[in-house]
């Protein structure tokens, strides 16, 4: 009887074996063109736009959130976890979803009120706001802080950073 672990091992081993044979039997001309194309691409200068920075921040935050969510989901699905541990994991998942929704609502409010693209990250009582704008205006920053604070009942520590 083959168990799941052995099946996965055989599958991955077979895949590695097939790829190794394919690599060894590949003509030398193909390998040379791959090497030269990689060298040519590495000399290019890449320009990063403001929207790319915000997208990168969003991807990083999403990855972090998904890791936390998967950890809590594992606790929920773990049969040996106590009821209290499962309740704590459920509450943490619920809090993560609420924070994610609040971040999106604040980004939408900033876009509607100030016509600016932004990234918002909430962690406990701190709110970090990254604005895609070249002008570093104090009045604009104060207005954004007021807009963000209006979404909370308690006093938050809000930082506004301009990228551009």
List domains and CATH numbers for the chain.
Answer: 50-163 (1.10.287.4300)
Alpha carbon distance 62, 139 (integer Å): 30
The pTM (predicted TM-score) of the whole model is: 0.65
Contact indicator for 143, 114 with CB cutoff of 8 Å: yes
Residue 92 and residue 15: Cα distance in Å, rounded?
39
Q: pLDDT tens string for the chain (164 positions)?
A: 568 788 888 888 788 878 777 777 767 776 677 666 655 555 555 555 556 788 888 889 889 988 998 999 888 888 898 999 989 999 999 999 999 999 999 999 999 999 999 999 999 899 999 998 888 888 999 999 999 999 999 999 999 998 86
């Amino acid at each position: 009887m083959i168990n799941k672990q052995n099946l996965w091992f055989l599958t991955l081993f077979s895949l590695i074996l097939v790829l190794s044979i394919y690599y060894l039997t590949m003509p030398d001309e193909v390998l040379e063109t791959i090497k030269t194309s990689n060298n040519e691409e590495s000399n290019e200068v890449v320009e990063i736009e403001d929207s790319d920075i915000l997208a990168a921040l969003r991807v990083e935050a999403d990855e972090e959130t998904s890791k936390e969510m998967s950890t809590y989901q594992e606790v929920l699905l773990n049969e040996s976890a106590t009821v209290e541990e499962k309740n704590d994991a459920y509450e943490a998942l619920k809090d993560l979803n609420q924070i994610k929704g609040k971040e999106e609502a604040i980004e939408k409010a900033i876009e509607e009120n100030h016509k600016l693209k932004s990234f918002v990250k909430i962690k406990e009582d701190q709110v970090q706001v990254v604005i895609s704008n070249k002008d570093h205006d104090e009045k604009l920053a104060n207005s954004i802080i007021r807009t963000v604070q209006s979404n909370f009942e308690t006093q938050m520590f809000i930082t506004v950073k301009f990228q551009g």
